[in-house]
Amino acid sequence: MKEASTSEVPLGQNLIKLISNLCFSAFVFSVLIFTVIAITYQPPDPWLESAPALTKLFTQTENATFKNDDSILKTGEDLVASAAISPAISPSNSAITEAMIEKSEKLINDSAASRQLRCEEKVNCSDPRALFAIERFNLRAFKSIVFLEYQPPVNGSKPDECDVSWRFRNKKEKSWRKYRDFRRFKLVFGENCTYKVDHAGGWHSGVNARRFRTRFGNATATRAGKLAPPAVRDEEINDTIPSLGSELSFRKGRYLYYSRGGDYCKGMNHYLWSFLCGLGEAMHLNRTFVMDFSVCLAATYNPSGKDEEGKDFRYYFDFEHLKEVASVVEEGEFLKDWKKWDRGHRRKVPFKKVVSHKVTPMQLKKDKSTIIWRQFDAPEPENYWYRVCEGQAAKYIQRPWHALWKSKRLMNIVTDISGRMDWDFDAVHVVRGEKAQNKELWPHLDSDTSPDMLLEKLKRMVQPWRHLYIATNERFYNYFDKLRSQYKVHLLDDYNELWGNTSEWYNETMNLNNGKPVEFDGYMRVAVDTEVLYRAKTRVETFYNLTMDCKDGVNTC
Ligand SMILES: *[C@@H]1O[C@H](CO)[C@@H](O)[C@H](O)[C@H]1NC(C)=O
Ligand SMILES: *[C@@H]1O[C@H](CO)[C@@H](O)[C@H](O)[C@H]1NC(C)=O
Ligand SMILES: *[C@@H]1O[C@H](CO)[C@@H](O)[C@H](O)[C@H]1NC(C)=O
Ligand SMILES: *[C@@H]1O[C@H](CO)[C@@H](O)[C@H](O)[C@H]1NC(C)=O
Ligand SMILES: *[C@@H]1O[C@H](CO)[C@@H](O)[C@H](O)[C@H]1NC(C)=O
Ligand SMILES: *[C@@H]1O[C@H](CO)[C@@H](O)[C@H](O)[C@H]1NC(C)=O
Ligand SMILES: *[C@@H]1O[C@H](CO)[C@@H](O)[C@H](O)[C@H]1NC(C)=O
Ligand SMILES: *[C@@H]1O[C@H](CO)[C@@H](O)[C@H](O)[C@H]1NC(C)=O
Ligand SMILES: *[C@@H]1O[C@H](CO)[C@@H](O)[C@H](O)[C@H]1NC(C)=O
Ligand SMILES: *[C@@H]1O[C@H](CO)[C@@H](O)[C@H](O)[C@H]1NC(C)=O
Ligand SMILES: *[C@@H]1O[C@H](CO)[C@@H](O)[C@H](O)[C@H]1NC(C)=O
């Protein structure tokens, strides 16, 4: 690329730079075109809503460097068609229905021990009939929730109160992850002296029922009256890094090892596109993928405005899910075992170095080496991981999007925010930031998302005084104040105690970071904003709901 201009040395410095930049841009562009073409011919993907849509998502930008909409973050659980995820095997995954409640109630009614309730009796939280009343109440109150299992109610703070804890999932979340709520209910005797819920407390109000039996422990029944100790962590999360076990099992394994490439410190969309290419190749080759947990977060997502290294993969993504569905091993563990083996044995571990992305996955299929080590030392953009999946390879390698979910720790924040609004809220996604400033490509976006216009347009789509969550990349908190005259406005920053230094999230991420606090960065904000947005009843999008500008700039729609 560069030879063309090397002759004119002194005068042409700038010219050379310009030309090589132009060459580079043209090159990247042609690569992308090629990718688009290649991917369009991919075989149909059983679990993607549409592969072409994704291709567009990652390739269409004026600058051709993955600078697409960074105010939304889609991962596996958002892309999968719900039918494609089979319910996990665990029996506790079956939803509690009215029919089930009735059946248990009948058993109680018919049992000899059962006696007629008398209206002057005190509320007895241990009475199964109290729980039936609460279960029925919940089914009616929270239509978007699937209730999975209840713990027996315990006494609340007053004689007629019971605290109950349960697990649930949200119908809008396509993963099978479970969350936990515990609320306080005031019970009264209704007609014919049956239990009736008089009042239900808000999200996480039933603190006496807070402790929950987990799959790691047995019933940790809370004694009523005694305040339960604070929940220290979500005991459901097990994303510890597994070790490889014995040396022999190391030697028997087959690994695909990508050393760090030019993708490092690029945008997160680029990171995902590359990471999933590597993981996809490993799956194609039936090998264990060696992964680097240390992520470099690009400057755009950092409050400091600089690239930051040393972020843990698990801050953002669900490693527990990943290790369940894919064969992966942590780089440090892997290198340790490799060295150990080579030191301890005369016969070294056979490995094959691959120095160019032009060696295709199909060519490596027959290779029997224990380790296939892809190196990415060529100058950019020859050193991007995703280049491995271009061209012919795109027909064979499918990016395993289903393996990548958002971190459960972030999802707990999402659940908390939507739970506090009782899952009864509407949301608007307001894209501003760089796009609003770029009048050339988005001529009306700025004015269409101005406070006055927003209010006027939202009035037509969202009922007054609804809870309105605003997912946005607008940095100025008070920008949306005008909407407060019509709606109960919620912004991510209203919930900052959920990641503040007294939060569960803070404690848990600190544990991953050797006891040092972790900053709640811009990428986490986008992840949470996205998922809250997806849980709204009415969802208003910026493009085509608020503005007629095209999502990707003039003349792209
Ligand atoms: C491409 O991106 C660079 C840096 O991100 C920016 O300076 C430049 O203006 C962009 N080009 C266009 C056409 O937007
Ligand atoms: C159980 O008994 C109560 C009152 O004693 C009655 O309201 C309820 O319908 C009965 N449930 C079933 C399933 O028979
Ligand atoms: C409350 O209900 C449980 C279960 O039905 C029963 O064993 C217990 O004796 C009741 N307690 C009171 C004070 O009635
Ligand atoms: C719950 O409260 C009732 C009276 O309101 C009392 O009889 C019972 O012992 C309490 N249960 C527990 C487990 O403390
Ligand atoms: C209460 O009992 C009466 C007579 O047994 C019955 O007709 C009525 O339907 C009952 N009400 C409820 C809500 O179960
Ligand atoms: C909990 O402990 C009881 C007895 O201590 C035992 O019978 C039961 O199986 C245990 N449950 C679980 C889920 O381990
Ligand atoms: C966080 O950890 C500290 C010490 O380990 C503990 O005192 C505190 O209660 C924890 N906070 C939460 C919300 O779990
Ligand atoms: C967490 O998962 C690993 C396997 O990935 C398992 O070996 C370990 O026992 C689990 N830890 C707990 C506490 O269940
Ligand atoms: C994949 O590799 C595992 C062991 O590494 C082996 O047991 C299995 O048969 C292989 N499957 C295929 C389809 O090659
Ligand atoms: C938590 O943050 C607040 C405000 O930033 C600070 O005053 C407080 O000392 C911090 N607490 C801990 C335990 O770090
Ligand atoms: C937003 O626009 C889409 C497509 O034009 C439309 O289907 C949807 O109903 C609109 N949303 C609202 C809340 O009006």
Q: What's the number of domains the chain is made of?
A: 3
**Ligand 2 residue neighbourhood (C-beta within 6 Å):** 102, 105-106, 109, 192, 194
Mutate to test the pocket of ligand 9, among 244, 286, 329 (most ligand atoms within 8 A of CB): 286
Sheet harboring 426-430: ordered strands across?
488-491, 467-472, 426-430, 539-540
pLDDT at 59: 46
Q: Is the CB of 434 under 6 A from ligand 1?
A: no
For the chain (length 557 residues), average pLDDT per consecutive 10?
42 52 51 42 35 48 46 80 42 76 87 71 89 95 91 93 93 84 93 90 92 42 33 68 80 93 89 93 96 93 92 95 93 92 89 94 94 93 89 88 92 95 95 90 94 96 97 94 97 96 93 94 95 95 92 80
CA-nearest residue for atom 9, ligand 6, is 218
What letter does residue 121 receive in the DSSP assignment? Answer: S
Is 470 a member of any domain? yes
Task: Please tell me whether residues 168 and 205 are part of one structural domain.
Answer: yes
| CA neighbor of 234 nearest in space, from 296, 302, 130, 318 | 318
| CA–CA separation, 394 and 385 (whole Å) | 13
Last residue of a domain, one of 368, 403, 438: 403
Ordered DSSP codes for 452-510: HHHHHHHHHHS-TT-EEEEEE----GGGGGGGGGTSEEEEGGGGGGGTSTTSHHHHHHH
Q: Is the CB of 254 under 6 A from ligand 9?
A: yes
For ligand 5, the distance from its centroid to the CA atom of residue 110, given in whole angstroms, is 17
408-420 and 504-512 are packed helices; what angle lies between their axes, rounded to 10 degrees?
A: 170
Q: Is the CB of 537 under 6 A from ligand 11?
A: no
pLDDT at 3: 42
Beta carbons within 8 Å of 210's beta carbon, 6+ residues apart: 165, 182, 204, 222, 228, 231
Task: Please tell me whether residues 147 and 60 are part of one structural domain.
Answer: no
Is 234 a member of any domain? no
Q: Is the CB of 92 under 6 A from ligand 9?
A: no
CA quadruple 417, 420, 425, 426: dihedral, nearest 10: -20
pLDDT at 110: 83
Task: Please tell me whether residues 332 and 197 are part of one structural domain.
Answer: no
Task: Please tell me whether residues 108 and 157 are part of one structural domain.
Answer: yes
Task: Please tell me whether residues 478 and 339 are part of one structural domain.
Answer: no
Task: Please tell me whether residues 272 and 383 are part of one structural domain.
Answer: yes
Task: Please tell me whether residues 470 and 525 are part of one structural domain.
Answer: yes
| CA–CA separation, 38 and 44 (whole Å) | 13
Is 200 a member of any domain? yes
Is 355 a member of any domain? yes
Report the relative pairing of strands 308-312 and 328-330 from DSSP bridges.
Answer: unpaired
| CA–CA separation, 168 and 178 (whole Å) | 6
Q: Is the Cβ–Cβ distance between 164 and 128 less than 8 Å?
A: no
- Ligand 2 atom nearest the C-alpha of 109 is 1
pLDDT at 225: 30
For ligand 5, the distance from its centroid to the CA atom of residue 192, given in whole angstroms, is 6
Q: Is the CB of 323 under 6 A from ligand 8?
A: yes
Is 343 a member of any domain? yes
Last residue of a domain, one of 403, 430, 447: 403
CA-nearest residue for atom 1, ligand 8, is 238
CA 126 to chain centre: 38
Q: Is the CB of 249 under 6 A from ligand 9?
A: no
* Secondary element (H or E) of residue 129: helix 128-141
For ligand 10, the distance from its centroid to the CA atom of residue 345, given in whole angstroms, is 53
pLDDT at 114: 66
Looking from the CA of 221 toward its CB, the CA atoms found within 13 Å total: 7
Q: Which ligand is nearest to the CA of 459?
A: 11
Is 264 a member of any domain? yes
**Ramachandran assignment for 384, one of left (phi > 0), alpha (psi -120 to 50 degrees), beta (any other):** beta
Task: Please tell me whether residues 495 and 542 are part of one structural domain.
Answer: yes
Is 136 a member of any domain? yes
- Ligand 4 atom nearest the C-alpha of 159 is 5
**Ligand 6 residue neighbourhood (C-beta within 6 Å):** 218-219
Last residue of a domain, one of 378, 403, 428: 403
pLDDT at 424: 94
Task: Please tell me whether residues 430 and 501 are part of one structural domain.
Answer: yes
pLDDT at 246: 77
CATH of the domain at 501: 3.40.50
Is 18 a member of any domain? no
pLDDT at 235: 67
Q: Which ligand is nearest to the CA of 155?
A: 4
Report the relative pairing of strands 294-297 and 179-189 from DSSP bridges.
Answer: unpaired
Q: Is the CB of 440 under 6 A from ligand 5?
A: no
Classified as helix, coil or strand, 537 is: coil
For ligand 11, the distance from its centroid to the CA atom of residue 65, given in whole angstroms, is 30
Task: Please tell me whether residues 306 and 376 are part of one structural domain.
Answer: yes
pLDDT at 18: 52
| CA–CA separation, 77 and 328 (whole Å) | 20
CA-nearest residue for atom 14, ligand 6, is 218
The encoded tokens of residue 360 equal 């295709």
pLDDT at 229: 37
Task: Please tell me whether residues 395 and 254 are part of one structural domain.
Answer: yes
Ordered DSSP codes for 321-389: HHHHHS-EEEHHHHHHHHHHHHHH-SSPPPEEEE--TTS-HHHHTT---SEEEE---SSTTTT-GGGGG
- Ligand 2 atom nearest the C-alpha of 116 is 5
pLDDT at 40: 36
Mutate to test the pocket of ligand 3, among 124, 125, 162 (most ligand atoms within 8 A of CB): 124
Mutate to test the pocket of ligand 4, among 121, 122, 123, 155 (most ligand atoms within 8 A of CB): 155
Beta strands in 53-194 (DSSP E): 145-150, 154-155, 161-170, 179-189
Q: pTM of the entire structure?
A: 0.79
Containing structural domain, residue 262 = 52-83+247-403
Task: Please tell me whether residues 261 and 373 are part of one structural domain.
Answer: yes
The encoded tokens of residue 509 equal 């991420």
Q: Which residue stretches of 156-259 are H helix?
A: 247-252
Q: Is the CB of 545 under 6 A from ligand 11?
A: yes
